Amino acid sequence: MKQMIVRDENKKFFISTLASVLEGKYLESDWTKLAYEIDEIETILHHPRLLRSLQWGDRDYLMNILEVLERIGQNNFDNLVCIAEQIDFEDWTFSNAPKAYSRLFKTGDEQQVQGIRKPDRLPDRRQNEMITPEVKKIKNSKVFIVHGRDELPKYRVAKYLHDHGLIPVILHEQANQSKTIFEKIEANSDVGFAVVVVTPDDIGALQGDFEKEGTLVLKKRARQNVILELGYFLAKLGRSNVAVLLTEEVERPSDIDGITYIFMKDRGWEVDLRKEFLAAGYEV
């Protein structure tokens, strides 16, 4: 059995070697999944250049990977070791970089290596999130999250999806590539399911009612883009592959009253959402 040697003087070398491996292995979906697994959403998905340089094949992609890995290592170095284990780092260095292999690995069964513990898993606070059930019936594990301006419900749903082995797709975290918003939606709509989070961001009323009764008739509504995207995914995926979550009561579009609404303020909304996934053929 080989143990990785991560002395203080080897850390930079280890990170640069790991970056070279990830440059050839990682896709956008891999970075997204990793961000939620190790709780580094800000570092990875909000990095100004990482995903954009990957999408465009820019020369600075490797440098952006290095920057991201250094930040992850500063927060918790054990996460970098776990990433290496997940991508068969040892096999890659053995086959492609023998000098790096001999520098980073040695024979031994001990778990303590030069004062740096080689972890069997991510730290306990993330352990449950690393155990992600395999989606067997549905090959497409990507789930698009439609959302309004309220950030908290969106990330609660994203965490729920990740905890159940699914990959959340959030539009503003994807590269723009000079696309319009709707072109960007189309480019990222290769998903198997959509969760629409409806929050009361706008108010409105029929013009005639408003002219007669003023503000008394104003009702809370979802943003127009949320309703548009809801209709888009209903047409693209079918009603059985779309779930609508409400943070509170809002005026509902009259022409799609047949869909099921799940209230997030109720305890057990996760159970109701799981039922929708099970009905669509997912094993979650």
Residue 182 belongs to domain with CATH number: 3.40.50.10140
Domains contained in the chain, number = 2
pLDDT of residue 107: 46
Q: Could you report the per-residue pLDDT of 38-94, keeping only the tens digit for each? A: 889 889 988 888 988 887 888 889 999 999 999 999 999 999 988 998 888 988 888
pTM over 0.75: no
Q: Which of 10-19, 36-45, 214-223 has the lowest mean pLDDT?
A: 214-223
**Residue 217, both tokens:** 């008739």
Residue 64 is predicted with a pLDDT of 92
- The domain in which residue 92 lies consists of 2-125
% pLDDT > 90, the chain: 29
Compute the distance between CA of residue 253 and CA of residue 109 in angstroms, rounded to an integer: 63
* Candidate from 107-111, 160-164, 240-244 with smallest mean pLDDT: 107-111
Same domain as 275, residue 251: yes
Is the domain of 136 the same as that of 103?
no
Least confident of 74-88, 104-118, 266-280: 104-118
Q: Are residues 155 and 117 in the same domain?
A: no
For residue 284, is it within any domain? Answer: no
Q: Is the confidence at residue 140, as pLDDT, over 50?
A: yes
Q: Which residues of 79-115 are buried (b: 16+ CB within 10 A; e: fewer)?
A: bbbbbbeebebbebbeeeeeebbebbbeeeeeeebee
Beta strand 202-204 with 116-117: parallel, antiparallel or unpaired? Answer: unpaired
C-alpha 238: how far from chain center: 23
More confident residue, 112 or 20: 20
The amino acid at 58: D
d(CA 108, CA 258): 62
Non-local (6+) Cβ contacts of 127 within 8 A are: 121
167 and 74 within one domain? no
Q: Identify the helix (H) or strand (E) that includes residue 276.
A: helix 269-279
Residue 121 included in any domain: yes
Q: Which of 96, 125, 154 is where one domain is finished? A: 125
> Based on the domain organization, do 25 and 159 belong to the same domain?
no
Q: Residue-wise over 240-258: b if at least 16 C-beta within 10 A, else e?
A: ebbbbbbbeebebeeeeee
Q: What's the mean pLDDT in 233-256?
A: 86
The domain boundary, picked from 108, 125, 142, lies at 125
DSSP string, 4-50: E---GGGHHHHHHHHHHHHHHH--HHHHHHHHHHTT-HHHHHT-SSH
Is residue 242 classed as helix, strand or coil in its secondary structure? strand
pLDDT at 207: 82
State the pLDDT at residue 216: 77
